[in-house]
Amino acid sequence: METAAESYVRGPEMQLTTKTTHQVFWETVSKFPDRDALVVRHQNVRLTWRQLADEVERTARGLAGLGLKPADRVGVWATNCAEWIYLQLACARAGLVQVNVNPAYRATELAYVLKRSGMKALVLRAEDSRSNYRAILEDAVQGQDLALRDVVYLGEESWDRTLAGGADPGPGPSDCNAVTNIQYTSGTTGSPKGVLLTHHNLLNNGRIVNLGLRYTEQDRVCIPVPLYHCFGCVGGTITCIMSGAAMIFPAPTFDPLATMEAIHHDRATSIYGVPTMFIAQLQHPEFSRFDFSSLRTGVMAGAPCPIEVMKRVVEDMHCPQMTIFYGQTESSPVITMAYVDDPMERRVATVGTACPATEIRIAGPDGKTLPIGEQGELCARGYAVMKGYDQDPEATARAVDPDGWLHTGDLATMRPDGYFRITGRLKDMIIRGGENIYPREVEEFLYTHPKIADVQVVGLPDEKLGESVAAWIRLKGGAASTEDEIREFCKGKIAHFKIPQYIRFVDSFPMTVTGKIQKYVIRQTEIKERHLEKAAGIQTA
Ligand code: AMP
The answer to whether 59 and 154 have CB atoms below 8 angstroms apart is no
Max mean pLDDT among 257-266, 300-309, 462-471 falls in: 257-266
The pTM for the full model equals 0.88
**Which atom from ligand 1 is nearest to the alpha carbon of 231?**
4
**Per CATH, which fold does 430-536 belong to?**
GMP Synthetase; Chain A, domain 3 (3.30.300)
**Which amino acids bring their CB within 6 angstroms of ligand 1?**
185, 230, 301-305, 324, 326, 328-329, 333, 351, 408, 410, 422, 425, 431, 436
Distance 488 CA to ligand 1 centre (A): 30
Q: Binning pLDDT at 50, 70 and 90, where does residue 10 land?
A: very high
Name the closest-CA residue to atom 5, ligand 1: 328
Between strands 179-186 and 150-153, the pairing is unpaired
Between strands 435-437 and 36-40, the pairing is unpaired
What pLDDT, on the 0 to 100 scale, is given for residue 513?
58
What is the arithmetic mean of pLDDT over 474-491? 94
Q: What is the mean pLDDT of the chain?
A: 93
The answer to whether 20 and 173 have CB atoms below 8 angstroms apart is yes
Distance 413 CA to ligand 1 centre (A): 15
The answer to whether 123 and 74 have CB atoms below 8 angstroms apart is yes
What pLDDT, on the 0 to 100 scale, is given for residue 154?
98
What pLDDT, on the 0 to 100 scale, is given for residue 538?
41
What is the arithmetic mean of pLDDT over 334-340? 96
Task: State whether residue 254 is helix, strand or coil.
Answer: coil
- At residue 230, does pLDDT exceed 60? yes
The answer to whether 276 and 431 have CB atoms below 8 angstroms apart is no
Q: Binning pLDDT at 50, 70 and 90, where does residue 541 land?
A: very low
What pLDDT, on the 0 to 100 scale, is given for residue 4?
60
Lowest mean pLDDT among 203-212, 315-324, 452-461: 452-461
The answer to whether 335 and 356 have CB atoms below 8 angstroms apart is no
- At residue 425, does pLDDT exceed 80? no
Q: Count of H helices and E strands in the chain? A: 18, 27
The answer to whether 111 and 144 have CB atoms below 8 angstroms apart is yes
What pLDDT, on the 0 to 100 scale, is given for residue 437?
87
Distance 149 CA to ligand 1 centre (A): 35
Q: Which of 503, 494, 384, 353 is nearest to 435 (CA)?
A: 494
What pLDDT, on the 0 to 100 scale, is given for residue 188?
41
What pLDDT, on the 0 to 100 scale, is given for residue 540?
39
- What are residue 286's phi and psi, to 5 degrees? -100, 10
Name the closest-CA residue to atom 9, ligand 1: 328
What pLDDT, on the 0 to 100 scale, is given for residue 194?
96
Q: Binning pLDDT at 50, 70 and 90, where does residue 457 land?
A: very high
Task: State whether residue 408 is helix, strand or coil.
Answer: strand
Report domain extents, the chain. 2-414, 430-536
Lowest mean pLDDT among 51-65, 91-105, 131-145, 306-320: 306-320
Q: Probe ligand 1: pick from 299, 328, 467, max atoms within 8 Å of CB?
A: 328
What is the arithmetic mean of pLDDT over 407-422? 94
Instruction: Give per-residue burial for 176-189: e unless 16+ CB within 10 Å, then b.
Output: bebbbbbbbbbbbe
Q: Rounded to an integer, what distance in angstroms lies between the CA atom of residue 455 and that of residue 508?
A: 10
What pLDDT, on the 0 to 100 scale, is given for residue 515?
59
- At residue 173, does pLDDT exceed 50? yes
Q: Binning pLDDT at 50, 70 and 90, where does residue 539 land?
A: very low
What is the arithmetic mean of pLDDT over 494-499? 94
What pLDDT, on the 0 to 100 scale, is given for residue 333?
97
Name the closest-CA residue to atom 6, ligand 1: 328
**Which atom from ligand 1 is nearest to the alpha carbon of 300?**
19
What pLDDT, on the 0 to 100 scale, is given for residue 186?
67
**Which atom from ligand 1 is nearest to the alpha carbon of 195?**
2
Name the closest-CA residue to atom 20, ligand 1: 304
Q: Which of 293, 88, 283, 36 is nearest to 199 (CA)?
A: 88
Task: State whether residue 16 is helix, strand or coil.
Answer: coil
Contacts of 78 (CB under 8 A, 6+ apart): 84, 103, 123, 124, 125, 154
| The CATH number of domain 2-414 is 1.20.200.10 | no
**For 58-69, how does the pLDDT look when each residue is reduced to its tens digit (9 = 90+)?**
999 999 999 999
Q: What percent of the chain has pLDDT over 90?
A: 82
**For 180-213, how does the pLDDT look when each residue is reduced to its tens digit (9 = 90+)?**
999 998 644 457 899 999 999 999 999 999 999 9
Q: Rounded to an integer, what distance in angstroms lies between the CA atom of residue 525 and that of residue 183?
A: 36
Name the closest-CA residue to atom 10, ligand 1: 328
- In terms of Cβ atoms closer than 10 Å to its own Cβ (0-12, 13-18, 19+), residue 463 is middle
What pLDDT, on the 0 to 100 scale, is given for residue 1?
52
What is the arithmetic mean of pLDDT over 322-335? 97
Lowest mean pLDDT among 65-69, 229-233, 418-422, 435-439: 435-439
What pLDDT, on the 0 to 100 scale, is given for residue 152?
98
The answer to whether 45 and 406 have CB atoms below 8 angstroms apart is no
